[in-house]
């Protein structure tokens, strides 16, 4: 807290924004234009400069506002995904995968077969991998805030891919398509290394 100096009666802190400053300057120029006719030519140039500055500031302010709104929208979309994972439906799917789809004591080919034989388990696996595929695409296209999702889900995505990688590869062979669940594998690879899927930069956990 600031303390007064000896002999100081009052201390005033005034915050002046660029918009306020431009308004004050414009008002001064208008008053001078009215009361000082001899310098109107010079004031005309000053008016043009202030007008140009106002346009530049308006563009800057608009750009900042759009970026902030876009950031907030991406965060909102990201938390919707996180909230979806906390629903009872997704909790049951996750439990089914953990209980029947990721047994380390079962050979991968047998696990793949058991997934296809159990329609509920197959639906659970495809739903989860499909969700991560969509999340990966959304991150790359700028629809989601990757940092928010990483701090919440960075363990879960690599865990799913690591435990279901045989299923993923067999599905690629079955459909003759190397890009089946390709997006989720890319996302898991990046997040496993604590790196951004988009920029490749390392994520740093907050202190």
pLDDT bin (cut points 50, 70, 90) of residue 98 is: confident
The answer to whether residue 166 scores a pLDDT higher than 70 is yes
Measured CA distances, 188 to 90, 117, 120, 132, 156 (Å): 19, 27, 24, 9, 9
* pLDDT score, position 9: 47
- Most confident residue range from 29-33, 37-41, 95-99, 132-136: 132-136
Q: What is the mean pLDDT of the chain?
A: 78
User: What backbone phi and psi angles, to 5 degrees, belong to 108?
Assistant: -55, -40
For residue 202, the SS3 value is strand
The answer to whether residue 34 scores a pLDDT higher than 80 is no
* pLDDT score, position 146: 95
Query: Which tokens is 85 given?
Result: 């994972």
For residue 175, the SS3 value is helix
* pLDDT score, position 136: 95
- Look at 94 and 53; give whichever has higher pLDDT: 94
Task: Find the angle CA(185)-CA(186)-CA(191) to the nearest 5 degrees.
Answer: 100
Span of 10-24, 119-133, 160-174 with lowest mean pLDDT? 10-24
Greatest pairwise CA separation for the chain in angstroms:
95
Span of 42-56, 87-101, 120-134, 144-158 with lowest mean pLDDT? 42-56
The answer to whether residue 51 scores a pLDDT higher than 90 is no
- Measured from the Cβ of residue 183, the count of other Cβ atoms closer than 10 Å reads 21
For range 181-195, the mean pLDDT: 95
pLDDT bin (cut points 50, 70, 90) of residue 52 is: low
C-alpha of 86 from chain center: 20
C-alpha of 41 from chain center: 51
Write down the pTM of the prediction.
0.67
The Cα–Cα gap between 82 and 91 comes to: 12
Q: Exposed, middle or buried by CB within 10 Å (0-12, 13-18, 19+), for 134? A: middle
């Amino acid at each position: 807290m600031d303390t007064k100096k000896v002999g100081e009666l009052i201390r005033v802190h005034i915050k002046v924004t660029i918009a306020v400053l431009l308004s004050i300057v414009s008002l001064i120029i208008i008053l001078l234009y009215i009361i000082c006719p001899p310098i109107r030519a010079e004031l005309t140039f000053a008016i043009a400069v202030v007008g140009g500055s106002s346009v530049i500031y308006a563009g800057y302010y608009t750009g900042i506002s759009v970026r902030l709104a876009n950031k907030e929208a991406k965060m909102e979309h990201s938390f919707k995904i996180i909230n979806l994972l906390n629903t009872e439906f997704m909790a049951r799917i996750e439990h089914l995968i953990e209980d029947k789809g990721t047994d380390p004591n079962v050979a991968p080919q047998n696990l793949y077969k058991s997934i296809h034989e159990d329609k509920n388990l197959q639906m659970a696996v495809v739903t989860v991998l499909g969700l991560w595929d969509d999340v990966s695409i959304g991150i790359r296209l700028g629809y989601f805030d990757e940092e928010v999702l990483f701090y919440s889900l960075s363990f879960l995505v690599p865990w799913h891919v690591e435990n279901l990688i045989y299923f993923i590869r067999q599905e690629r062979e079955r459909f003759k398509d190397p890009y089946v669940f390709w997006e989720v594998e890319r996302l898991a690879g990046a997040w496993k290394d604590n790196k951004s899927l988009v920029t490749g930069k390392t994520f740093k956990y907050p202190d």
